[in-house]
Amino acid sequence: KAGVTQTPRYLIKTRGQQVTLSCSPISGHRSVSWYQQTPGQGLQFLFEYFSETQRNKGNFPGRFSGRQFSNSRSEMNVSTLELGDSALYLCASSSPGTGVGGYTFGSGTRLTVV
């Protein structure tokens, strides 16, 4: 059974640019959540999508956005990149059968903003 797939694995972008990250959840999982992981702030919740609807949003500026498609694949977008956006972005999927918070995480996309 394939795991959660995140692409690309690594990205280098320049300040002011925008970036789109992709996440393919485990087949059958309809909930996709995104987290930002940094050495200073740890793991912080960005947003959760379920059946193409944003169900929750963390405390991040509007530059961070996401969406989910009918096949449950999700993308997140960061516009007007800042140096502080450099982080590992993790996607996690779950289903009602896995219970609340019973995530399967992807390996992440490491974004470096220069």
Which positions touch other proteins (CB under 8 A)? 3-4, 31, 33, 35, 42-45, 48, 50, 55-56, 58, 90, 92, 94, 99-103, 105-108
Tell me the sheet residues that pair with 78.
19, 64
> Tokens at residue 85, please?
């956006």
Burial zone of 35 (CB within 10 Å; 0-12 exposed, 13-18 middle, 19+ buried): buried
Tokens linked to 13:
């972008």
Tokens representing 102 are 């019973």
Retrieve residue 18's tokens.
């925008």
